[in-house]
Amino acid sequence: MSFDPAARSWIPVDPSNDFPIQNLPFGEIERRDEEGMLSPATRIGDHVVDIGVLIEAGIIESTMGESGLDLLLADVGIAGLKQIRQQLFDLLREDASLLRDNADLRTRAVLPVDQVHIEMPLPVPNFVDFYSGIHHASNVGRMFRPDQPPLLPNYRHIPIGYNGRASSVVVSGTNIHRPWGQNKPANAESPVFEPSRELDFELEMGFFVGEDTMLGEPVAIARAEDHMVGLVMVNDWSARDIQRWEYQPLGPFLAKSFGTSISPWIVTFDALDPWRIQGPEQDPPPTSYLHRPRPCHFDIELEVSIQTARATRPQVVCRSNTKHLYWDFAQQLAHQTVNGTNLSVGDLYASGTISGPDEGSFGSLLEATWRGTKPIRIEETGEERTFLEDGDTVVFRAWCEGDGYRIGFGECRGTVLPAVRQ
């Protein structure tokens, strides 16, 4: 679909809204009037469009109907989703009458967003978390290895990552319990078992896989985007004290697996293409299988806010941008599969923490407070934060700014609940 920045919809959309007709992301909804029935959907302004209803009406071609985005994707594939997005665009533009003037169909298919439950967009069979934010990796190196170079020798040669816990990936709005675990205080002779005292957020973006591959068949970087549905925001919650004790020699485990939040709308590369950029220079040049035919970096503004239990409004604590990633999304997928590992529809790949070069752009409290030595002051209440406390709500936002519109991701939101008693 060609990108039309001048297009407008017959559904009113405020210029500050994340979901103009140029966006049309994919997600999954449960209608409040039909509980238990899942349906693929798109979002425009403050409304959702039930794609399942349009399939039943014969306007959009598919055999699946109201069966969820995963089954629709299995039926039509990524190329089919692109065609459906084009059909939605043609139905919703201001001069299109087919859906607009059919009152009965419009009432069933176009719903205010508060009349549906927004679900996980796709089931997640596998979850991988990368470490592609070079400023974050450098900051962590300076904090924990002050007598060594900030980056380990392999960082500029391969996208570093690890396999995370898919079962605890949850949709925005799901609360997160403070995790229990072992940690070893600096002056203690042995570790203690207690709720984490250093709970943190991690500002990340992620992509969903939309096509299976066979075991033993790598995905060439030139075809990497062909396997992706699009991008979501990711908050990979982290327990820093637990992680510090457990991560050697095999990396994160309990410190990460207790919860990962994602935004519910998958924003497609077609919507983001005007903001495609070259990304940072990679020195030394990557190995041949990581050479990019075109960049898969994007100029997406990122923002993190915290609202404490005592506060009446959120306070911005970070502004960053996806352009600060060292390894782009295509390189991440090409590296993941170069050994022949197979992909499954719904696999989620997260970028790693996206920090910028300046203090106000650090994508975690670990960095923003520099291991707790520089507390953040909550202006409304006078509270201070080094790490997250019970009752704190963390909200991520992401968007690209156009001329009179914005391509956004909505929210990725979660509130910290007390640890469950052992």
Contact assessment for residue 347 and residue 128, using Cβ atoms and an 8 Å cutoff: yes
Looking only at Cα atoms, what is the longest distance across the chain? 74
Q: 319: which residues sit within 8 A by CB, 6+ positions away?
A: 301, 302, 303, 304, 356, 360, 361
| Annotated catalytic residue, options 47, 135, 136, 227 | 136
Active site residue 136: yes
Closest Cα partner for 40 from 23, 22, 53?
53
Checking DSSP bridges between strand 384-385 and strand 238-239, what pairing results, if any? unpaired
**Type of residue at 409:** F
Integer Cα distance of 369 and 359 in angstroms:
9
Contact assessment for residue 150 and residue 142, using Cβ atoms and an 8 Å cutoff: yes
Closest Cα partner for 415 from 264, 257, 307?
307
Q: List b or e across 207-243, with b for residues whose CB sees 16 or more CB atoms inside 10 angstroms.
A: bbbbbebeeeebbebeebbebbbbbbbbbbbbbbbbb
Integer Cα distance of 144 and 248 in angstroms:
13
Residues classed as catalytic: 136
